[in-house]
Amino acid sequence: MNGENGETLAILCSGSSLGAYVPGLLLWRQFAEKGFETDTFLLENYLLAEKRDNILKTKLAFHRNFSIARIAQKLTGDITHSLDQEKVSKLLSAWQQKQHKRFIVIYGFWMPIIEQYLSMEPGLDIAVDLCHMDAVTSVSWKLYNRTNPRYRPIWFFSWQDKSLPYRLSVTADEPIAYAKRSGRFLIHGGGWGLGSYQDKIPELATHGIPLDVTVYENQDLENRQLGNRYFLIDPAWKAWERDESGKHHFPPFGEVMGDDPVVFSHNPSCPEVYGLVRHNQAIISKPGGATLVDSLSAATPLILLEPYGEYEQKNGELWESMGFAISYQKWADTGYSTEVLEDLHVNLLTARARTINYVEAYSNAA
């Protein structure tokens, strides 16, 4: 199954959502380090050009208006009509020529393409891991039949079983002891900057709580609070475009220093923001799947803001029920206690130690 016999482990993800992108790149790197020949495929590269080119505009509209984002989510449907069938045909032909047999799917909208490939190769021993990055079935998976025996469902967080079947480590680093952390709090709205996080910044400033704020466009910087640090994801970055070496990379990220141009960089091993996750006391955010990955990997508690849809609601409920998170209001009611958060950190440490590492388990079975 690894690179020694020439097989490629194909990781299918999406650049339109960091929750369906960052896990894919983490898996790509970690499996490569295990000796697998790996490649990543982003769905956006197989969309009609006008559909792909609209993603950044949609992202900005959703960032500016959370209500629009929630309405649009409810209207999400099958994307087959948005696929560039010529590009899809070329992709399937390439897979067929190389006899691709091992797939990891991070994003459910890949399912029509996978189904087509399976129908083209009924006799090939194809195995597909369907990796769910939320605690219940999310929008991208709901529309498609996932009962084929060649599919193996992989849940990192399970609301149904109230469990953590697997974990995805962001890096091999052990979590930083809580007392040795920076005293700061990371606040963000996920990859698209969604939700009510910006409304909390002035309130937290009045209580003297130092924040590391992820921003998404220049207008987010208009009311900067003294004592906070601000970090920008390059607004022009398109995840589906490969770099000069022909590879995808983690989001370009940089600290905003006064009015100087932001110097963007990207860590080859993990998102730059993960350094903040490891050193901060908590993450204040909506409970997206990638945020849960960060929280467990770094044993950093989550302070829950309003979720984006039902599946994020369940993510938050699971994290709170397992003692890894607290709602923003409950935390405020404690007087913004760090002692409460340290208890959550300890719970995360315990759970992290006993949860199976997905990459290790897959590699050992290969």
- Residue 132, phi then psi, degrees to nearest 5: -90, 125
Show the tokens assigned to 357. Answer: 């590492």
**Biggest alpha carbon–alpha carbon distance for the chain:** 65
Mean pLDDT, rounded, for 167-186: 97
For residues 203 and 244, state if they share a domain: yes
Q: What angle do CA 279, 63, 207 make, to 5 degrees?
A: 45
pLDDT of residue 61: 61
Contact 116, 92 (CB under 8 A): yes
pLDDT of residue 72: 53
Mean pLDDT, rounded, for 6-29: 91
Beta-bridge partner residues of 212: 186, 229
pTM above 0.75, yes or no: yes
For residues 317 and 290, state if they share a domain: yes
Q: What is the DSSP letter of 126?
A: -
Q: Closest Cα partner for 345 from 276, 270, 278?
A: 278
For residues 72 and 83, state if they share a domain: yes
State which H helix or E strand residue 254 sits in. strand 253-255
pLDDT of residue 242: 86
With a pLDDT cut of 70, the percent of the chain lying above it is 92
Q: What is the pLDDT of residues 219-247, one digit of tens each?
A: 777 788 889 999 999 988 888 888 888 88
For residues 26 and 156, state if they share a domain: yes
Residue 260's domain comprises 178-354
CA distance 348 to 9: 31
| CATH code for the domain in which residue 339 is found | 3.40.50.2000
Q: Beta strands 229-233 and 253-255: pairing type?
A: antiparallel
Q: Closest Cα partner for 312 from 285, 280, 344, 352?
A: 285
pLDDT of residue 3: 44
For residues 193 and 165, state if they share a domain: no
For residues 213 and 284, state if they share a domain: yes
Indicate the number of domains in the chain. 2
pLDDT for residue 59 is more than 90: no
CA distances (Å), 266 to each of 192, 233, 275, in order? 18, 10, 12
Q: Closest Cα partner for 296 from 152, 133, 150?
A: 133
Q: What is the pLDDT of residues 290-320, one digit of tens each?
A: 999 999 999 999 999 998 788 899 999 999 9
Q: Closest Cα partner for 239 from 89, 11, 20?
A: 20
Which residue has tokens 């649009």?
Answer: 72
pLDDT of residue 4: 43
For residues 165 and 28, state if they share a domain: yes
Mean pLDDT, rounded, for 99-116: 96
Beta-bridge partner residues of 9: 38, 102
Amino acid type, 47: L
Show the tokens assigned to 58. Answer: 């949609």
Mean pLDDT, rounded, for 24-28: 96
The mean-pLDDT minimum among 6-10, 92-96, 236-240, 309-313 falls in 6-10
For residues 213 and 159, state if they share a domain: no
pLDDT for residue 212 is more than 50: yes
pLDDT of residue 312: 92
For residues 76 and 43, state if they share a domain: yes
For residues 255 and 307, state if they share a domain: yes
Average pLDDT over all residues of the chain: 90
Q: What is the DSSP letter of 323?
A: T
pLDDT for residue 22 is more than 70: yes
With a pLDDT cut of 90, the percent of the chain lying above it is 71
For residues 258 and 144, state if they share a domain: no
Contact 185, 346 (CB under 8 A): no
Mean pLDDT, rounded, for 342-364: 98
pLDDT for residue 83 is more than 70: yes
| CATH code for the domain in which residue 83 is found | 3.40.50
Contact 262, 255 (CB under 8 A): yes
- Residue 77, phi then psi, degrees to nearest 5: -135, -175
Of the segments 197-201, 224-228, 261-265, 344-348, which one has the largest average pLDDT value? 344-348
For residues 43 and 73, state if they share a domain: yes
pLDDT for residue 48 is more than 60: yes
- Runs of H (alpha helix) within the chain: 22-33, 49-53, 55-64, 66-74, 85-98, 111-120, 139-142, 197-206, 273-279, 289-298, 310-321, 328-333, 338-354, 358-365
pLDDT for residue 27 is more than 90: yes
Amino acid type, 66: F
pLDDT of residue 5: 45
pLDDT of residue 1: 42
State which H helix or E strand residue 327 sits in. strand 325-327
Contact 315, 135 (CB under 8 A): yes
**DSSP conformation letters of 164-233:** ---B--SSSPPPPPGGGS-S-EEE--TTTT-SSHHHHHHHHHHTT--EEEEESSGGGGTTPPTT-EEEEE
CA distance 315 to 229: 28
